[in-house]
Structure 1
């Protein structure tokens, strides 16, 4: 059949793949070009970069990285010295001195060191943007992509495999298959067509430093690594990693050039310039020597703070207290309605509420970090705000209760309403209570089972899309075959747990009503058989639904919201089919043995219970239950979570990294988590 012809066509150094009926060929160069546009779009939305490039330029000073970290092999010292010769680096410029290294050797690797707030992230993100904006860029040059290594466990996953997974998550169109290889993402990584920027090596768990350093030293990928100096102390003497630079403090002239435009800073700067050993002035001057704290000082003054207050605070406080005061001023300034008149009224959250919600997000990341250190190989990123993980700050028992209550409430209310409409109101309330108790308990335990064992990749967002047309029958058949056993296995396991719990609950209830033990045993036995059969049916249905799943198209945008919407569509299709088929089947069976009066409500209840239960075992379903309902009800997040996250990105509090969000700096994240109040949580409402 012509529609099934999708054999690969090789042309030169690239690969052309006809991926389905009616779909144009896809080449490596085209994927690389699309990736470039995506990365540029993400970097172009970075408000921090835009703020730093406006007004007076903010230079970044550097020196050659220490020899114990660079080594002397392959001219590492000479390259490091050549990079440092161009100091200071102009963040508003093209950063040609760094780019020249990559022009000379394709598989170059560079190291950027610096203390917290020294401008490492600003530098590498600006470098990536300048590299891609260069008019001389060609499809043969690697595309710089920023990765946050906080979620990498080098003991369980190789660097290449982890990079491929991140690339497929943030750019799903690269998850398409390539002949003789896994995916396009794997091809681009292995062939060195992605310039890997690992931003924040020090964000990893400390016990992961040694194995990570071994893999970094052995890899030959184009690589740019940022870290604090102390995180790389495990590098063996005499070996080194690769050439690099170390960012140093801003000079007093740099601070004056940035702050002197404001009249309020002039007298303070005069005092700092002639402090003559005055401890308070020297302490404040030291605080302002990093780009992070300098921008925080600008935010402090813009929000109405008097620079003289900082001098007074410096007289009785430590440098750390001064930095915390500056960090605390950022959110009030960012959400000040008088300073953000262009923000739509529907997004004018008060600074207090915004600070509380951001504090919850920061606490969520810190808790993930603590959990990751306890869970060994199941490491969760400490930098990425992933919408499918937001509810995991709640304890597992709490998540089980919330999910179980929702499933029981949906099915129980539907059965009660049906019985009431069928002229049997007395039975409505007891039936609703029993369904809520039994089904809620069963699905709550299934939720805990799936969460604990990570069966079938539970709660991970799918990288596929739902589309009726666009791929050949052969491709769709292969996808069904590949997903059949895993999905059926998950269905059987979940059905077995469901049957044991539900059957046990009915058996206990029968014995409490003084029924013979034989009746209780029959009830338990029936559900012990019915549970796995229901799970098997659900697994088969979801596996067959893979026929409608297709790979993402290159022209489709990728963001946290896009990934959420895509998963919503997939989940609604899956739960809709599962609920319809199981509801009809169970309703017909009950009607055959007990009549239509009992069969109709039983079918409706079974369909809704199956649909809601399967839905809560997906990434989007958990998002709805926990993030869209429970967390807003408890005041920990706003009702319009998506709008709040996107608005925080637009204000420069967060930045977008593919399909996830990140705080603009780890210091801000940690300070928000520290300032989070344990009680008295405000709820949404009032000033916006």
Structure 2
């Protein structure tokens, strides 16, 4: 739940202390901890930190009709909707004081001329004790129905001024006015808030009602089991949250998410699916073999990021410059140190952005680190978003989550808006790749949409190339609250140990074929060939490709990397990259060693699925060109129907119509039905309907990728049965009239009402079964992240179940017709006629089903593309094989090329749009 239970002052006044949550406040606001500074100085710093948040003051009734007080959580007061009443502010201020080692007392006042419960207003103050020991006369009970003896004399009237045992703070001083709220006492400095608190105590307009010594309650909380047993208490991380940035950041994400068991369960299942997916990809691509390349980064120039005070959620005068340089191993810790939770990573193509994103995802989801209500990082590509289309950033995120992880559709179907709540409660952390892949005119609009869509507490990790990001920021503005870092080039020292350790040592020694190459790169800096190779090896992609080509395999079976230093062979960095990408395909489709990973259990790969490098290059090239033309990085089998031309649908529909009406004309006389020639005018109708269905076929998406399950609840089963009965009854009542009108008056076919009623009853049976199948379909379980082949098999089984309902209706119609059918005046046995009818109807049914639905579209497409020589007939076997060889990676239910440079290389495009503008090996300087 996102709200605490209402507090009853008369029933359990001490329970107010359970809403004073110092750990939650410390995780949301950077507060001073307990130190040697004086109490007044610490209280002043606490007050200023809360005032910098910008909390709105809500002037509302203190209680409901039963005298219970609504108290907002720290998340609501400090983040969203970021407002509160005087009591909300007093509770938060008391919690903040406790993080600074101060002793607070919450004082409740009532109007001097009225009753607290009957009055429309009341007020709350915070009295902070300025002494080590309790002043004389302090009650032992934490609830003070009367002011302690000598309390008025012990209150310090002004700060600075004569010292006293208590400083009383008016908490509304930290707030700003909202529309239609009083402005008196709002937004004042610490000294004025203390003076106003003293005036409340000594003035005559307000009288004492009750005070709760929350400091004593917390110090002796073992004696107050109510504090720990109440559901109102939020998750409490260690009290060190205020001092440890990483602990504080993790605590903040848990608190901002808020308690909700259903969402927590969905997020936990999603985390398991994402972790399993990327662990498998990391193992397959061997990015940690022999160890991860040391990708470094430094601060980006100041003009690429928002102001530091906005990133740190502090006033301009209070923020300190941030320097979050690091390397791949600490990316998650660096992210935790960004108070806003928004980080942008810039790097050239091949600089290691995707590897860094994968490491970030797996580090956050490590079982020893991830906890419930912490965000689940999900890696998504921005290429499928068109910001100019009117689709908001949140809506696009939701659609991508449903597309990448179809199991989420089950939760969305049960409770619409579930995916949106996962995003707004920060249970999903978007990791956005390919910002630079958007069209140049769309990037500024994307920045504007992201800035306008995200709430204060929502974060992300965004990846882009620096030049494209700089141009987008120049036309719009920097991403709000986002800290930006730039990936640095690799140096010879970074891969001097990596490459030799990845190769097989020479016989009788420890040196490898890489040692002389690395030695020359480090020693000979003047030769043109070493300069070109050093520049190419500034990116982790080029180094990892070289390792795959020249290191993977047995000794004597791999090429010698010394060829990379042959004089006059490579003139530019781009020529080296093109060569490595080409050789990578050759190495990937080399003869398989005995220990090569076998196909997955669900793969039906046979020896015929082993393809040559030339075949693979041809087929992968077609896929890459198609993806470049559609501006996407996803290879989704259900989208391959985009390759079918409209003429194909016209031909298929016409053929279907000809077979249907031709068979009818041949078989109808056997039933005593004699069609006239006007019925042939209906021939173009199926073709036109099928062509009209062509746009729907092109938009086929995962909304059709479902599996048939049994509804779990009685209500769901009743709803399903009601829908099916209604649909079947309506069709059974209306179809006889349609048959008579269509055939007797439009086509000239002599059909009687009994026959029409039989056909109508069969249509009702078909509709009943079709509704049961369609509405009984649900997505697969999210805990078993579906692979593309799994979804294809689901679509195939869904088609078979649909055919079963059609055949059931067919046999019902034929059975009834056969029983009441008078022997025709033909020399054909009744059983032979029935067999012919069954075979003909079965053929038509299979043809219709085959020409519709995702599996039918995919089968048509792969046959068409195989006949035209663009792709193999066994397309899924080929894609699975490319995935095993490291050419493709799996992202949820789709395949992607391992890197965008590989996609561009296979598509015949330049791997880089412009030459690098930095010399080889130069590291970016960190900004202060």
TM-score using structure 1 length: 0.73
Residues 564, 404 of structure 1: CA spacing in aligned structure 2 closer, same or farther, 3 A cutoff? Answer: farther
**Cα distance per residue 1:180-205 (max 9 Å; x no partner):** 96143222122110011111112223
Residues 96, 453 of structure 1: CA spacing in aligned structure 2 closer, same or farther, 3 A cutoff? Answer: closer
Note if 1:387 corresponds to 2:637: yes
Give the C-alpha shift of residue 251 in structure 1: 0.9
Q: Trace 1:208-287 onto structure 2 (pairs within 5 A).
A: 208-218=442-452, 219-220=454-455, 221-232=458-469, 233-236=471-474, 239-241=477-479, 242-261=482-501, 262=503, 263-287=512-536
Match of 1:101 among 333, 337, 346: 337
* Aligned twin of 1:568: 796
Match of 1:471 among 696, 709, 713: 713
Note if 1:644 corresponds to 2:885: no
Q: Trace 1:352-391 onto structure 2 (pairs within 5 A).
A: 352-369=614-631, 382-391=632-641
Match of 1:82 among 323, 326, 350: 323
SS of match in other structure, 2:379: strand
Q: Trace 1:352-501 onto structure 2 (pairs within 5 A).
A: 352-369=614-631, 382-398=632-648, 400-401=650-651, 445-452=688-695, 458=700, 460-474=702-716, 477=719
**Cα distance per residue 1:78-109 (max 9 Å; x no partner):** 8994322x2xx13xx3534324236xx4x611
Q: C-alpha separation between the residues in 1 aligned to 2:855 and 2:661?
A: 22
Note if 1:318 corresponds to 2:554: no
SS of match in other structure, 2:391: coil
Moved more, 114-123 or 446-455: 446-455
Residues 536, 110 of structure 1: CA spacing in aligned structure 2 closer, same or farther, 3 A cutoff? Answer: farther
**Cα distance per residue 1:566-587 (max 9 Å; x no partner):** 2222222223323542576489
Residues 348, 49 of structure 1: CA spacing in aligned structure 2 closer, same or farther, 3 A cutoff? Answer: closer
Residues 295, 193 of structure 1: CA spacing in aligned structure 2 closer, same or farther, 3 A cutoff? Answer: same
Q: C-alpha separation between the residues in 2 aligned to 1:247 and 1:479?
A: 59
Q: Trace 1:305-344 onto structure 2 (pairs within 5 A).
A: 305-312=559-566, 315=569, 317-339=571-593, 341-344=595-598
- Asked if 1 retains the 8 angstrom alpha-carbon contact of 2:725 and 2:768, the reply is no
**Cα distance per residue 1:431-474 (max 9 Å; x no partner):** xxx99x998x765554432222569x646552542123523344
**Cα distance per residue 1:339-367 (max 9 Å; x no partner):** 46535573543323233332232233123
Note if 1:127 corresponds to 2:360: yes
- Asked if 1 retains the 8 angstrom alpha-carbon contact of 2:410 and 2:778, the reply is no
SS of match in other structure, 2:485: strand
* Aligned twin of 2:52: none
- Between the two proteins, the alignment pairs up a number of residues equal to 587
Answer 1 or 2: higher relative contact order, Cα 8 Å, separation at least 6.
1
Residues 644, 209 of structure 1: CA spacing in aligned structure 2 closer, same or farther, 3 A cutoff? Answer: same
Note if 1:33 corresponds to 2:268: yes
Q: C-alpha separation between the residues in 1 aligned to 2:844 and 2:682?
A: 11
* Aligned twin of 1:349: 611
Gaps of 5+ in 1: 1-10, 15-24, 370-381, 423-433, 497-502, 507-517, 524-528, 677-688
Give the C-alpha shift of residue 414 in structure 1: 9.1
- Asked if 1 retains the 8 angstrom alpha-carbon contact of 2:331 and 2:360, the reply is yes
- Asked if 2 retains the 8 angstrom alpha-carbon contact of 1:197 and 1:225, the reply is yes
Give the C-alpha shift of residue 58 in structure 1: 0.7
Q: C-alpha separation between the residues in 1 aligned to 2:725 and 2:335?
A: 44
Give the C-alpha shift of residue 603 in structure 1: 5.7
**Cα distance per residue 1:105-137 (max 9 Å; x no partner):** 4x6111011111000010011111011115132
Give the C-alpha shift of residue 59 in structure 1: 0.5
- Asked if 2 retains the 8 angstrom alpha-carbon contact of 1:142 and 1:193, the reply is yes
Residues 635, 137 of structure 1: CA spacing in aligned structure 2 closer, same or farther, 3 A cutoff? Answer: same
Q: C-alpha separation between the residues in 1 aligned to 2:439 and 2:764?
A: 40
Match of 2:899 among 643, 647, 665: 665
Q: C-alpha separation between the residues in 2 aligned to 1:349 and 1:343?
A: 16
Residues 317, 208 of structure 1: CA spacing in aligned structure 2 closer, same or farther, 3 A cutoff? Answer: same
Give the C-alpha shift of residue 62 in structure 1: 1.1
Q: C-alpha separation between the residues in 2 aligned to 1:290 and 1:119?
A: 7
**Cα distance per residue 1:377-434 (max 9 Å; x no partner):** xxxxx111111012323433245546766x5799799999x98xx9xxxxxxxxxxx9
Q: C-alpha separation between the residues in 1 aligned to 2:396 and 2:644?
A: 27
**Cα distance per residue 1:308-355 (max 9 Å; x no partner):** 433337545333222111100112111211546535573543323233
Gaps of 5+ in 2: 1-230, 235-259, 313-318, 504-511, 552-556, 599-605, 671-678, 750-755, 825-829, 911-928
Residues 179, 606 of structure 1: CA spacing in aligned structure 2 closer, same or farther, 3 A cutoff? Answer: closer
Q: C-alpha separation between the residues in 2 aligned to 1:144 and 1:483?
A: 44
Q: C-alpha separation between the residues in 1 aligned to 2:410 and 2:277?
A: 22
TM-score using structure 2 length: 0.55
Match of 1:151 among 384, 400, 405: 384
